Amino acid sequence: MNAPMKTPDFTAAREAAFRAEIAEFVADSLPDRMRRDHELGRSLSRADHVCWQRKLVARGWGAPHWPEEWGGAGWSMRQLFVFEEAMSALGAPASPAFNTRMIGPILLAHGDEAQKRRFLPRALNFDDWWCQGYSEPGAGSDLASLQTRAVRDGDHYVVNGSKIWTSAGQHANWMFCLVRTDREARAQNGISFLLIDLTSPGVSFRPIRHFFGAHVFNQFFFDDVRVPVENRVGDENAGWSIAKALLEHERLYSSRHTEARRKLGRLRRLAGEVELDGAPAARDPRFRQVLARRAMEVRSLEYATMRALERLVETGEIGAYASVLKLKGIEINQRLDEAVFDLLGPDALPADAAWETPAAADFPHPDARNAAEARYWFRGPAIAGGSQEVQRGIIAKRILNM
């Protein structure tokens, strides 16, 4: 990603005014239903995401971390952080990462001018919905062993193979994809980065349901899919380094500090409502220890993320520190999910769908909705984007030189 311009004078007064500006925008623009669904960790529909993103784009906030010439806001890292934190605290959903956090930065760093002009504005406005095609049935943590192959045929590649665990792929019309273009080279060296139009002949997919029932993942199949050579990003066989940079990027955002802050808000609201031994949990000495631990962890995660941003500005890269962020960000989020679930006790029993039944009329806590499913959903981030074990391996090898 290009380092955004530094703005030296983001003073406390300016920050307060900026936060007020954000609050006003959210109050005017974000429908209550969407805010509520997001607060409860329920997934939003494609239409909701597109609607919200277009409101952000209209305000100039669609991808503030992009360069200004492509629709970015030209803010300092500090201001970007405040923006995200404030939006999240107000219950505003973040736009799905694939467009603005992944393919956007990739094209900005590695795309040619034609690719940028063709794809960036549409990605920003969600005219296209991108998904990621990395994992394969036989290549998960060992991503470099991927087998989907792209064979050159004139000015096209012919792609055959399968990609799996494609989150939100059912919404997507484009996939950025790692394919093998040289079967002789060492694993990492024969990989290229392709952009595939999912409406092309030969593309199909099947839904994969999460164990709690939601349609979260997909498997895509490519059967002699013809992809123009102009849709390759970077050089042939140089896709691995692009993917690796993106994975680091993914890990920066997988600190998931804004999600953690949102979950902490839910835990605090419930602490005032749920009674333990006849008094609100907020006054229960044992629960107070839990709440304090969770709140301190969120603070530390926010500072850790700010350090990463500072480092990104000063050195242009995050390095293996991203792995620490991911490892701890996941753990802190999972502990928050668990704290909510535990505090609710029996009131966490109703399924998300139960809230649509007549029985829900006197369920005690509206903030209980989706508590179990949200916790189950979050098993996934510990595996995706390089499992926790992969992160530990990176930390040991690249930071500790073990």
Contact set with other proteins (CB under 8 A): 135, 138-142, 145, 164-165, 207-213, 216-217, 275-276, 286, 341-342, 345-346, 348-354, 357-362, 364, 372-373, 376, 379-380, 382-384, 387-389, 392
Q: How far is the CB of 209 from other proteins (least distance, A)?
A: 4
Q: Which is nearer to other proteins, 10 or 341 (CB)?
A: 341
Q: How many residues does the chain have?
A: 402
Nearer to other proteins, 128 or 337 (CB): 337
Least distance in angstroms from the C-beta of 391 to other proteins? 12
The answer to whether 257 and 302 have CB atoms below 8 angstroms apart is yes
Residue 71 gets the label, from left (phi > 0), alpha (psi -120 to 50) or beta, of left
User: What is the b/e burial string over 56-90, where b = at least 16 CB atoms within 10 angstroms of the residue's CB?
Assistant: bbeeebbbbbbbeebbbbbbbbbbbbbbbbbbbbb
Q: Shortest approach of other proteins to residue 369 CB, angstroms?
A: 11
Q: How far is the CB of 352 from other proteins (least distance, A)?
A: 8
Residue type, 394: I
- Between 128 and 136, name the residue whose CB sits nearer to other proteins: 136
Nearer to other proteins, 288 or 392 (CB): 392
Q: How far is the CB of 116 from other proteins (least distance, A)?
A: 32
CB of 297 to other proteins, least distance (A): 19
User: Tokens 């029993």 map to which residue?
Assistant: 349
End-to-end CA distance of the chain: 29
Tell me how far apart the alpha carbons of residues 242 and 187 are, in angstroms, rounded to a whole number. Answer: 15
| DSSP symbol at 217 | E
Token pair for 96? 């799905």
State the Cα–Cα distance between residues 139 and 143, nearest whole angstrom: 5
Tokens 């991911």 — which residue?
326
- For other proteins, give the closer residue by CB, 151 or 208: 208
Q: Which is nearer to other proteins, 238 or 383 (CB)?
A: 383
Q: For residues 353 and 399, which CB has a smaller minimum distance to other proteins in the complex?
A: 353
Least Å distance, CB 239 to other proteins, is 20
Q: How far is the CB of 216 from other proteins (least distance, A)?
A: 8
Asked whether 129 and 173 are in contact (CB, 8 A), the reply is: yes
Least distance between other proteins and beta carbon 153 (Å): 31
Nearer to other proteins, 115 or 388 (CB): 388
Listed residue (143, 138, 31, 179) closest to 92, CA to CA: 31
- Distance of alpha carbon 372 from alpha carbon 377, whole angstroms: 9
Give the long-range contacts of residues 135-138, CB within 8 A, separation 24 or more. Answer: 135/163, 135/164, 135/165, 136/161, 136/162, 136/163, 136/164, 137/162, 137/164, 137/219
Q: Which two three-digit tokens encode residue 159?
A: 């792609």
Of residues 26 and 395, the one with the C-beta less far from other proteins: 395
Element spanning 300, H or E: helix 285-315
